[in-house]
A and B are shown apart, each in its own frame.
Chain A
Amino acid sequence: MKQYETVIGLEVHVELATKTKIFCGCSTAFGGAPNSHTCPVCTGMPGSLPVLNRQVVEYALAVGLATNCEIHQYCKFDRKNYFYPDNPQNYQISQLYLPICHDGYVEIETPSGNKKIGIHEIHMEEDAGKLIHDEWEDCSLVDYNRSGVPLIEIVSEPDMRSADEVIAYLEKLRLIIQYLGASDCKLQEGSMRADVNLSVREMGTDGLGTRTEMKNLNSFKAIVRAIDGERARQIELLEEGKSVIQETRRWDDNKEYSYAMRSKEDAQDYRYFPDPDLVPVYISDEWIARVKKAQPELRTEKMARYRKEFDIPDYDIDIITGSKHMADLFEATVAICHQPKKVSNWLMVETLRLLKEKGLEPEDISFSPRHLASLIEMTDAKEINSSVAKEVFAVMFENDTDPVRYVEEHGLKSQSNAGELMQILEKIIAQNPQSVADYRSGKKKAIGYLVGQAMKATAGKADPGLVNRMLGELLS
């Protein structure tokens, strides 16, 4: 069999973190009753008109500058015309002729060194609503809450050659955008979506093969599987002497197979033209300078600063800064308790373990820095022991419970007066000769009864672990 090379370009849609929609004042908040975040503008009512949300331009500009793009300082919005009920005007306001950013790149690390992945353009556009099929009534309903949520589409050059490079590129983009605060970039919730354009060619050749576009990729894992699957499918076709058809395919991650949605022949003519309801956007040199100046610390700078400021291993720095949310949490907690090493440990060990166990992303961490700091302070003060701390942390991880209150309410504070506890235990041993005898004759479970008595005598304030240990010592 011939050797093949995979050529991949990505179209990445990112939902921007603005509070309101791109062309009206409606909320972009996720969820909400169907059509509760709507108005005449985002439902396409007659006579309504779009007005551009400048924060969208600000974010698109920030992403473009952070990805080394050139800026079209005079840019325009165009209408992309197609009929579908999720699109209330039957045209989407997007940018075709003069996208805000163009000709940029991001750098990724590969086994053979750093590599630049070109960015063809970044444009601003509006999201569509959502169709819901009501099986009961046998009809389709439409929810326009997402209609008009601002998006940027980042179109790469066909510069990637493997799934690994694709993931590295996406990770890099995600981090840049998260660090800029322009989006939370959650693949599962759809705030970051990637379409994969893929073709194969014989190793050593220059021309591009016929490409397909793959949609519906909801996780990095799905992207990897889809790339492997599509590469294999195209190679098989070529090996059989058939040709690849230029088409859009939908990836089904459960079946690990893609099927054709539409081919180039029935591709629609979108009849793009400049939207006459919107005026051109002029981006002044001052505006660009201001966005550049306001650019927050990006990951590389943050890593360098951590190495200088905090005495924690490079490995930890890599993991922690690998998520803007985790890095923010780390810094905020350290600012309260001044224990970088310990904060890092909680994040690296227990946090990562629980995230993995529950199938969550670092962005999903919901406990507050204040509470993690309290937990660390309590362990430092030996108010709780480490096993109790882990137990409390698990609860805190779940619903951001205040650890101080939880320890209080559940009597988990270590019995600080060991002498007092000793007296109680000695008394219990004296009062329960039968259990003591059972324990000593090998019925180790008998100790449970004694622990229970001790908890009762201390009104639940004793640390059961400690009681267990002390009883064991007293009885041995």
Chain B
Amino acid sequence: MMQESTLKYTAVELSELIKAGQVKVTEALDDVFAVIEKREGLLHCYVTLEKEKAYQQAEELQRKIDRGALVSPLAGVPFAVKDNLCTEGTPTTCSSKILENFVPTYSAEAVKRLQEAGAVIIGKTNMDEFAMGSTTETSYFGVTRNPYDTERVPGGSSGGSAAAVAAGECFAALGSDTGGSIRQPACFCGVTGMKPTYGTVSRYGLVAYGSSLDQIGPLAKDVRDCAAILEVIASHDPKDSTSIARKDTDFTKALGRDIKGMRIGIPRDFFELSQNGSGLDPEVAAAVRGAAGVLEERGAVVEEFDLSLVEYAIPTYYTIAAAEASSNLERFDGVKYGYRVPGHEELHQMYKKTRSQGFGSEVKRRIMLGSFVLSSGYYDAYYLKALRVKALIKKAFDQAFARFDCILGPVAPTTAPRLGESLSDPIRMYLGDIYTISVNLAGLPAISIPCGQDHNGLPIGVQLIGDCYCEKKLLAAAYQYEKSVN
């Protein structure tokens, strides 16, 4: 008898069935690899697949689960990991030519925690090169296609992770979010993605893009999976000085919470942005307002307000992120690991040619931008000014959170654009990040959940933003919403 596919289950459901002895870990892998067999050729979610290793891991995990030594909510679940998270013994390329042959000798702390919880890591997902981009088109290894419409982008930079979850090429995935890189692809691919408060997940082993903005988070099938994954990967890691000791990381506890009386603010500014070219799509606006209505029905108090400073977020973000990136990416020089230009070269020629050939054009654009804003004579005018605006943006959010428990808004101004549409106009692509990047600048947690489709059947997402350390409020609201619409 042909068995029913396990792919209809969420990660948490699957793990429960595995622990109950009703599904074998290898059966879940079989289902995932069957989809990969069928769709990966076109979708290209992965840079590296480790099928053999996955089955080896599965057997080991099955033994542990069978003797009751592994009871985590993620035990036995096939996972994908974004290719900027170091994985011991498995290539970690950041979708860049310069790291094409790089195999780390250590795993990122978040990956380690996931593995200790019994997840099976089946491969490394495609991304925008060094997480720079919003479409996964800047990958050296080629584009990833959106499972909803393969002529469209999956979003980025965690596009491979989002598409893999949406297509059933894994049950859940890890991504990283510097300016929206988890939430926006989750939105474009119709899955749930969450960026926690800065410092909640250790950045150790995450190849840095903008260190002060980068956070690792889950992309999953639903809110419960997101909460369960975040609970596993959140930790106070002494190897990361910016990691925070939190006692409230039992995120799944928040899921059943009532949201009666929860105060939700909708920034009027988010809906009035057409003058600077970002142009919020009316279908997106309607779906987002619809989601607010659902929460209102569940007892939340929804109110509009002026957040202010929204239009400054983009220049501020691109100044700070590019400055940090220009320095973070200096280590890729052909000396110690990764790509080096062939033949004998004088040192500075070697540096120049290696980096010119090893990096793609979007990465080079941001390195040049970042080097410029840090250079002597411009530091005060650009970098320092951006830091000051960053502090003001944080203040604007502080004021908002004095009134509201959550802020609700769009994730992106439009649904997924067509392949090739964005790269021809980088400024337009940057403007698409308008709703997500201020969250990173302020270090806040935010979640992106599906809230409908446009007339083309493309997913639309709604974003809930919380104050620092208020993930539980977001999860409670998101879970209530999800329950109401399903």
- A residues contacting B by CB (< 8 A) are 40, 43-52, 79, 81, 83, 85, 88-91, 142, 269, 271-273, 276-279
Contact = CB atoms under 8 A, between A and B. Distances in A.
Contacts of A48: 204-205
B316 interface: no
A277 B199 CA distance: 11
Contacts of B86: 46-47
Interface stretch (B58-66, B104-112, B246-254): B104-112
B331 A46 contact: yes
Contact of B242 (A47, A272, A277): A277
A91 B204 contact: no
Contacts of B383: 273
A272 B238 CA distance: 26
A46 B239 contact: no
A49 B203 contact: yes
Given A40-B106, A47-B104, A271-B371, A90 B330 contact: yes
A273 B374 contact: yes
A81 B326 CA distance: 10
Residue from the set A47, A83, A90, A272 with the largest chain B CB neighbour count within 10 Å: A47
17 contacts: A44-B331, A45-B105, A46-B86, A46-B102, A47-B106, A47-B203, A49-B203, A49-B240, A50-B241, A51-B241, A81-B326, A85-B347, A91-B330, A271-B374, A276-B212, A276-B324, A279-B242
A434 B13 CA distance: 112
Contacts of B348: 83
B105 A40 contact: yes
Given A49-B240, A52-B241, A277 B208 contact: yes
Contacts of B324: 273, 276
A88 B332 CA distance: 9
A269 B374 CA distance: 9
B337 A45 contact: yes
Interface string B313-348: 000000000011011001111011100000000011
B331 A90 contact: yes
A11 to B, nearest CB: 20
A90 B333 contact: yes
Contacts of A276: 210-212, 242, 324
A49 B204 CA distance: 6
B239 A88 contact: no
Given A51-B241, A272-B374, 12 more contacts: A40-B104, A40-B105, A45-B105, A46-B99, A49-B204, A49-B240, A50-B241, A269-B375, A271-B371, A272-B379, A277-B208, A279-B241
Contacts of A88: 331, 335-336
Contacts of B206: 47
A273 B238 CA distance: 24
Nearest to B211: A276
Contacts of A89: 330-331
A273 B336 contact: no
Contacts of B332: 46
B92 interface: yes
A445 B248 CA distance: 94
Nearest to A50: B241
B241 A278 contact: yes
A83 B383 CA distance: 21
Contact of A271 (B204, B210, B351, B375): B375
A276 B210 CA distance: 8
B116 to A, nearest CB: 18
Contacts of A278: 241
B486 interface: no
Contacts of A51: 238-241
A79 B86 CA distance: 23
Tier of interface size on chain B: 35 or more
Contact of A47 (B204, B212, B347, B375): B204
Interface string B117-147: 0000000000000000000000000000000
A77 to B, nearest CB: 10
A439 B66 CA distance: 100
B22 interface: no
Interface in B330-389: 330-333, 335-337, 347-348, 351, 371, 374-376, 379, 383
Contact of A81 (B99, B105, B327, B336): B327
B262 interface: no
B207 interface: yes
Residue from the set B94, B105, B331, B376 with the largest chain A CB neighbour count within 10 Å: B331
A47 B327 contact: no
A272 B327 CA distance: 10
B105 A83 contact: no
B323 A46 contact: no
Contacts of B331: 44, 46, 88-90
Given A40-B106, A89-B330, A277-B208, A49 B241 contact: yes
B323 A273 contact: yes
B76 to A, nearest CB: 27
A45 B239 CA distance: 14
Contacts of B337: 45-46
A81 B379 CA distance: 14
Given A40-B106, A46-B104, A48-B204, A277 B241 contact: yes
Nearest to B204: A49
A271 B208 contact: no
A52 B333 CA distance: 25
Nearest to B374: A271
Contacts of A273: 323-324, 327, 374, 379, 383
A85 B333 CA distance: 9
B61 to A, nearest CB: 25
Nearest to B372: A271
Contacts of B323: 273
A83 B241 contact: no
Given A46-B86, A47-B104, A271 B327 contact: yes
Contacts of A79: 327
Contacts of A91: 327, 330
Contacts of B85: 47
Residue from the set B99, B203, B210, B333 with the largest chain A CB neighbour count within 10 Å: B333
A88 B335 CA distance: 9
A84 to B, nearest CB: 8
